[in-house]
Amino acid sequence: ITDAVEENVSGLLVEQRNVRQLADAIRKLLSDRKLAERLGSNGRKRAAEKFEWSIVAGNFEKNVLQKMGVKLK
């Protein structure tokens, strides 16, 4: 998940299965609209830069071709 979310930049991270941390993070976002908007905006930007379909597909294709022994330019 840390590939997708950068703590306090594009989201809030909580420990897996830690309900209290999750509830605290939700409360924090609900009580601080500016923080929620900043994290949301940064998260959308990060997703567009790292996970846009054309980028993901291009990286996948490159990796498959390399595994097949195809030399790339």
pLDDT by residue for the chain (73 residues), tens digit each? 777 899 999 999 999 999 999 999 999 999 999 999 999 999 999 988 888 888 889 889 999 999 999 988 7
Residue (of 43, 37, 52) closest to 9 by Cα position: 43
Q: What is the dihedral of CA 37, 5, 26, 38, to 10 degrees?
A: -10
What is the model's pTM?
0.69
